[in-house]
Amino acid sequence: MNKYQVFATLEAPDAFTLLDMAAADFFREKQTLLAQGLEVMGEPILAPDARTAAKTYQDYLINPSLPYGGPAAHGTFIYLLLHAPRIFGKGKPRRR
């Protein structure tokens, strides 16, 4: 999962920019956007890609009661599959 930060203005929250927080130039780009008058909108969004993060943010604008920022159900399932050996006992000591 990647973390994306949303930047927009309060006057036009639907005209937004996403930045990948793991990008090497994230802080420089963030400062540039803040200098242009954009603001950080909400918490970072966990998503597998930028398109999914943008859809999550747009869905939140339409219906603010939706969960925001957390991984979607399919993302949680993928995480579980990738980490199943570690989570479900591989490498853990056996119980007696």
pLDDT at 61: 79
| Segment-wise mean pLDDT, segments of 10 residues, the chain, 96 residues | 90 90 94 94 89 88 65 60 67 60
pLDDT at 58: 87
CB atoms within 10 A of CB 57: 22
pLDDT at 13: 86
Residues 23 and 33 sit within 8 Å (Cβ to Cβ)? no
pLDDT at 78: 62
pLDDT at 60: 79
pLDDT at 16: 92
Burial 17-43 (b: 16+ CB within 10 A, else e): ebbbeeeeeeeebbeebeeeebeebee
